[in-house]
Structure 1
Amino acid sequence: MSASRQSSISSSEIKASRSPSLVSPKVFARKVLAFYQKHGRKDLPWQKNPTPYRVWVSEVMLQQTQVKTVIPYYRKFMQRFPSIKALAEAPIDEVLHYWQGLGYYSRARNLHRCAQTIVEQWKGRFPNTLAEVESLPGIGRSTAGAILSLSRGEPTAILDGNVKRVLSRVFLVDGWYGQSKVAKTLWELTETYTPKENTGPFNQAMMDLGASFCSRSKPQCDMCPLNSHCLAFIHGKTQEYPHKKPKKDIPTKKQTYLLTQNPGGQVLLVKRPPSGIWGGLWCLPEVNRSNDSTLVGEFKHTFTHFHLLAEVVDQPQQPPIEKVEENETLAWHNVAQLDELAFPTPIRKFLNAHFQQSES
């Protein structure tokens, strides 16, 4: 295949041909596994006694979160919830408390629901088949493949962000991989090139390769085991691939929160609904700001789909908040006990700063 032909090859042609002249699956796997032996990560906490449960928790934590951030959370989480049964029997508030700081709290809620489902349907034993694992709440195709391959050596392919980046560059896959057509192409590639033997080490190697030599902004192509086959490297298009998500303006939403204390110094908090932003976490009540309010402070926070511009006020309530009937969603809490509750990170930071300043 000529250089000019390679430079203009399209993802559809690659998908259709799987041409050995690009790189054969056997050679691809051999080079990736050799990389793993020399550079792969082999001492991560979840790689020690890699049961499906331990790998599952790690894979969920690693979604949208870097390894170095996950490790201390993982260790504390597994110490408190060492088994599926322990996680299933724990109250969701405690699970969220151990998750706070990792963000994307739906992951923790899904973990908890999954554990309960496994106890109910499989008597606490992690399911065996790919279809059964994918049927669990919050477990997609790639996560299911990672769990089974890394814990049991099953020949199941994966397609996380790191693997997508490697494949997009090696095979010059056009388009943003959030689009269904592009995702389909990448899935066909990963299933073609994932070996049936040594699948666990291969999948770990692909993730490690994407996180190291084939990183997003500063790839070390000269050290990559696939550089002689990588079309993006060969044609100087590494920075162009994978194609970025089309830019879209992120709206800014404004919200007012109430910070008020009763005569005993307790803070009024509300537990948010189980689904949605900050689902199941304790938060300051949302209010409409009145003319007689006092500004306590402000903070900003960025979500995936919008920016939050928040102001925190204290203002008289009509009717006055004198007594709150204690229930699961609205309650007065002692300031000294706030660390025991699961808060969204920006709310916790604001409260910590506010009360530390009040004490000084």
Structure 2
Amino acid sequence: MDRTFTEHLLQWYDANRRDLPWRSNPEPYGVWISEIMAQQTQMERVVAYWRRWMERYPDLGSLAAASEEEVLKVWEGLGYYSRAKNIRKAAELILTDHAGVFPDEIKQIQALPGIGAYTAGAIASIAFNKVAPAVDANVLRVFARLLDIAEPVKAAKVKQEVEQAVLPLIPEKRPGDFNQALMEFGAMICSKRPDCDQCPMSQHCAAFANGTTGERPVLPRKRKAIHIEMATGVLVYNDKVLIQKRKPDDVWPGLWEFPGGCVEKGETPREALVREYMEEVELEIYPAEKITVVSYSYTKYRVTMHCYLCHSANNGQLKPVFNEAVTGQFVSPESLSSYAFPAGHRRLIECMLDEAWFDNLK
């Protein structure tokens, strides 16, 4: 493969690239946020979240000054919340270790929390015009076909092979455009289901020539999904509801939730919820009404969550003990919008708002 590939790719990119907001002014901060958000997220959602983020935190100083709670709330809905925490930590480090100036050397960029080789290469090339490869899943898929690689695409040596193939193709005058063109081409043309007959780069593709496009890339076996049944309860007390904050070493650390947990073998969801409330907050409750059933996924898990409106069986003032959380409190339904919740619990709140469950709490 030679520089004619580069010329053809950039011609395609100039004619077909998407109008993404950070491309009009590719300064380091905005490029960094876009790259982190784009991990595991569809581009349409990234654009909306990026605009909201940049309005709230237009620069490193405003981000570093924000609390973790505030940052998680703005990030809410994007998932993989460690990304948001690492962004905030990195902003603090840039202010203290780099005098508030985003570093332009790849090693320094990659030393920041949450930034790996791909993201460092993307930032360096797009924001600083450095000749550096940026090999993400899209690029790996494209080159697995271009080079007709018959080995698992996620193998370390395959990634190294692709990086070595990409590097001499990067033009010195447009390294950022080249890397974005590869990513764009992988997202729009050479996707998981490519349209090879309409591909403008097929003349460069070994898999197309060999008739093996449908076999590339070679992927690892899919992990079997683990199904979990859970129960959660919205406990009502004095027109308020109980929420608790997850521990730092837990799933979704630092986010808020309604108490609950897994349904064990032999239990009904109601029985599980009564047990979980006693274990987690030492309150005796009874599930009064079923609100909804929420289904969601994270990593390898597929969750079915049974959601109930609950009341206390305790007499007198309720004093929950938070055994499985950092802290907790009774809050008004109106204030729930100011807390960051995992996707499943946020969907429960939205359901309760849509169906006016909060209108007559007692």
TM-score (norm 2): 0.85
Task: Give the corresponding residue for 1:301.
Answer: 296
Task: Give the corresponding residue for 1:162.
Answer: 138
* SS of equivalent to 2:204: coil
Deviation at 1:200, TM superposition (A): 0.9
Task: Give the corresponding residue for 2:280.
Answer: none
Deviation at 1:192, TM superposition (A): 3.7
Aligned residue among 245, 270, 290 for 2:244:
270
Aligned residues: 334
Structure 2 unaligned residues grouped into runs of 5+? 262-271, 276-284
What is the distance in 2 between the residues matched to 1:125 and 1:319? 58
What is the distance in 1 between the residues matched to 2:211 and 2:159? 23
* SS of equivalent to 1:148: helix
Structure 1's consecutive aligned runs of 4 or more residues displaced over 4 angstroms after TM superposition are 315-321, 324-328
Greater Cα offset, 278-287 or 49-58: 278-287
Alignment of 1:1-360 (within 5 A): 23-24=1-2, 26-41=3-18, 43-217=19-193, 219-262=194-237, 264-287=238-261, 288-290=272-274, 293-294=286-287, 296=290, 297-313=292-308, 314=310, 316=312, 322-323=318-319, 329-357=327-355, 358=357, 359=359
Q: Is 2:153–2:159's contact at 8 Å kept on the other side of the alignment?
A: yes
Q: Is 1:106–1:275's contact at 8 Å kept on the other side of the alignment?
A: no
Relative to structure 1, the CA distance from residue 130 to residue 351 in structure 2 (aligned partners, 3 Å threshold; closer, same or farther) is: same
What is the distance in 2 between the residues matched to 1:84 and 1:48? 19
Q: What residue identity is the alignment partner of 1:251?
A: I
Q: What residue identity is the alignment partner of 1:290?
A: V
Structure 1 unaligned residues grouped into runs of 5+? 1-22
Q: Is 2:104–2:128's contact at 8 Å kept on the other side of the alignment?
A: no
What is the distance in 1 between the residues matched to 2:215 and 2:314? 57
Greater Cα offset, 69-78 or 185-194: 185-194
Q: What residue identity is the alignment partner of 1:185?
A: E
Q: Is 1:163–1:206's contact at 8 Å kept on the other side of the alignment?
A: yes
Relative to structure 1, the CA distance from residue 214 to residue 250 in structure 2 (aligned partners, 3 Å threshold; closer, same or farther) is: same
What is the distance in 2 between the residues matched to 1:44 and 1:232? 31
What value does the CA root-mean-square deviation take over the aligned residues?
2.4
* SS of equivalent to 1:97: helix
Relative to structure 1, the CA distance from residue 235 to residue 341 in structure 2 (aligned partners, 3 Å threshold; closer, same or farther) is: same
What is the distance in 2 between the residues matched to 1:308 and 1:318? 30
Q: What residue identity is the alignment partner of 2:299?
A: T
What is the distance in 1 between the residues matched to 2:51 and 2:188? 23
Greater Cα offset, 289-298 or 126-135: 289-298
Deviation at 1:355, TM superposition (A): 4.3
What is the distance in 2 between the residues matched to 1:154 and 1:276? 39
Q: Deviations for 1:17-45, whole angstroms, at most 9, x for unmatched residues?
A: xxxxxx22x2221221222222223x311
Q: What residue identity is the alignment partner of 2:151?
A: G
The structure richer in strand per residue is: 2
Q: What residue identity is the alignment partner of 1:39?
A: N
* SS of equivalent to 2:202: coil
Taking every aligned residue pair, what percent have the same amino acid on both sides? 33
Greater Cα offset, 236-245 or 146-155: 236-245
TM-score (norm 1): 0.85
What is the distance in 2 between the residues matched to 1:330 and 1:119? 33
Deviation at 1:186, TM superposition (A): 2.2
What is the distance in 1 between the residues matched to 2:164 and 2:250? 33
* SS of equivalent to 1:331: strand
Q: Is 1:55–1:147's contact at 8 Å kept on the other side of the alignment?
A: yes
Deviation at 1:57, TM superposition (A): 0.3
